[in-house]
Structure 1
Amino acid sequence: MSNNKKLTTSWGAPVGDNQNSMTAGSRGPTLIQDVHLLEKLAHFNRERVPERVVHAKGAGAHGYLEVTNDVSKYTKADFLSEVGKRTPMFIRFSTVAGELGSADTVRDPRGFAVKFYTEEGNYDLVGNNTPVFFIRDAIKFPDFIHTQKRHPQTHLKNPNAVWDFWGLSPESTHQVTILMSDRGIPATFRHMHGFGSHTFKWVNAEGQGVWVKYHFKTEQGVKNLDTDLAAKLAGENPDYHTEDLFNAIEKGDFPAWKLYVQIMPLEDANTYRFDPFDVTKVWSQKDYPLIEVGRMVLNRNPENYFAEVEQATFSPGTFVPGIEASPDKMLQGRLFAYHDAHRYRVGANHQALPINRAKNEVNNYQRDGQMRFDNNGGGSVYYEPNSYAGPTESAEDKQTPYAVSGEADSVAYDHNDHYTQAGDLYRLMSEDERTRLVANIVGAMKPVESDDIKRRATMNFYKADAEYGTRIAEGLGISLLEEVK
Structure 2
Amino acid sequence: MSDQNKPSSATGELENDNTLTNRQGHPISDNQNVRTVGNRGPTTLENYHFLEKITHFDRERIPERVVHARGAGAHGYFESYGKVGDEPVSKYTRAKLFQQAGKQTPVFVRFSTVVHGTHSPETLRDPRGFAIKFYTEDGNWDLVGNNLKIFFIRDPLKFPDMVHAFRPDPVTNVNNMERMFDFLSQTPEATHMVTFLFSPWGIPANYRQMQGSGVNTYKWVNQDGQAVLVKYHWEPLTQGIKNLKQAEASTIQANNYSHATQDLYEAIERGDYPEWELCVQIMSDGPHDELEFDPLDPTKLWPVDQFPFLRVGKMVLNRNPENYFAEVEQASFGTGVLVDGLDFSDDKLLQGRTFSYSDTQRYRVGTNYLQLPINSPKKHVATNQRDGQMTYRVDAGEHQNPHVNYEPSSLGGLQEATQTAKEHQPAYNDRLVHEKISRSNDFAQAGRTYREFDEWEREELISNLIGNLKICKPHIQEKMIEYFTQADPDYGRRVSEGLANAAREGKDHTSSTAADKAVRDAENMGHDAGRY
Cα distance change on mapping 1:381 and 1:166 into 2, 3 Å:
same
RCO comparison, higher one (Cα < 8 Å, 6+): 1
The 5-angstrom pairing of residues 393-412 of structure 1 reads: 393-394=416-417, 395-396=419-420, 400-412=424-436
**Match for residue 471 of structure 1?**
494
Alignment CA distance shift 1:13-1:327 (3 Å)? same
The answer to whether structure 1 residue 116 and structure 2 residue 134 are counterparts is yes
Q: What is the deviation of 1:483?
A: 5.7
Aligned mates of 1:319, 1:244 — CA distance in 2: 31
What SS does the corresponding residue of 2:345 show, helix, strand or coil?
coil
Q: Structure 1 CA distance, aligned partners of 2:496 and 2:415?
A: 63
Specify the alignment match of 1:317 in structure 2.
336
Whether the aligned pair in 2 keeps the contact of 1:324 and 1:399 (CA below 8 Å) is: no
Inter-CA distance 398–17: structure 2 relative to 1 (3 Å threshold): farther
Structure 2 portions without partners, runs of 5+: 1-14, 84-88, 501-514, 525-532
Give 3-state SS (helix, strand or coil) of 1:147's partner: helix
Q: Is 1:128 aligned to 2:146, yes or no?
A: yes
CA contact (8 A) 1:164 1:457 kept: no
Kept after mapping to 1: 8 A contact 2:82/2:99:
no
* Bigger mean CA offset, 238-247 vs 68-77: 68-77
Aligned-partner Cα distance in 2 for 1:425–1:61: 32
2:325 match: secondary structure: helix
Quote the Cα distance in structure 2 between the aligned partners of 1:209 and 1:150: 43
Aligned to 2:459: 435
Q: Which residue of 2 aligns with 1:462?
A: 485
Task: Report what 1:238 is aligned to.
Answer: 257
Q: 3-state SS of the aligned residue for 2:479?
A: helix
**Bigger shift: residues 332-341 or 5-14:** 5-14
CA distance in 2, matches of 1:454, 1:399: 51
- Alignment map for 1:25-44 (pairs within 5 Å): 25-44=38-57
After TM superposition, give the deviation of residue 397 of structure 1 in Å: 6.5
Q: CA deviation at 1:24?
A: 1.4
- Show the counterpart of 2:222: 204
Unaligned runs of 5+ in 1: none
Q: Secondary structure at the match of 1:191?
A: coil
Q: What residue number does 1:290 align with?
A: 309
Aligned equivalent of 2:449: 425
Which letter does structure 2 place at the counterpart of 1:289?
P
For residues 392 and 25 of structure 1, do their structure 2 counterparts lie closer, same or farther at Cα, with a shift above 3 Å needed? farther
* Cα distance in 2, alignment partners of residues 393 and 335 from structure 1: 24
Q: CA RMSD in A?
A: 1.6
Of 178, 187, 202 in structure 2, the residue corresponding to residue 184 of structure 1 is 202
Q: Give yes or no for contact 1:381–1:390 (8 Å, CA) kept in 2.
A: yes
Task: Return the alpha-carbon distance in structure 2 between the equivalents of residues 373 and 127 of structure 1.
Answer: 31
Q: Is the 8 A contact 1:69 1:292 kept in 2?
A: no
Q: Which stretch shifts more, 329-338 or 395-404?
A: 395-404
Give the counterpart of 1:355 among 374, 396, 413. Answer: 374
Mean Cα deviation higher: 126-135 or 201-210: 201-210
Structure 1 residue 273: deviation in Å?
A: 2.7
Q: Deviations over 1:314-333 (max 9, x none)?
A: 01100000000000010010
Could you tell me which residue of structure 1 aligns to residue 528 of structure 2? none
Give the TM-score, by structure 2 length.
0.88
Counterpart mapping for 1:74-473 below 5 A: 74-219=92-237, 220-267=239-286, 269-375=288-394, 377=396, 379-394=402-417, 395-396=419-420, 400-448=424-472, 450-473=473-496
- What do the CA deviations read for 1:9-43 (whole angstroms, capped 9, x no partner)? 11111112100000111222111111000011000
Using the alignment, how far apart are the partners of 1:42 and 1:114 within structure 2? 24
Give the residue type in structure 1 aligned to 2:488. D
C-alpha distance in 2, partners of 1:77/1:272?
A: 29
Matched, 1:67 2:80: yes
Take 2:308 and 2:140, find their aligned partners in 1: how far apart are those partners? Answer: 28
User: Residue 159 of structure 1: CA displacement?
Assistant: 1.0
Moved more, 175-184 or 383-392: 383-392
How many residues were matched structurally? 483
**For the residues of structure 2 that align with 1:103 and 1:113, how far apart are their CA atoms?**
20
> Counterpart of 1:307 in 2: which secondary structure?
helix
How far off is 1:385 after superposition?
Answer: 1.7
TM-score between both structures, scaled by the size of structure 1: 0.97
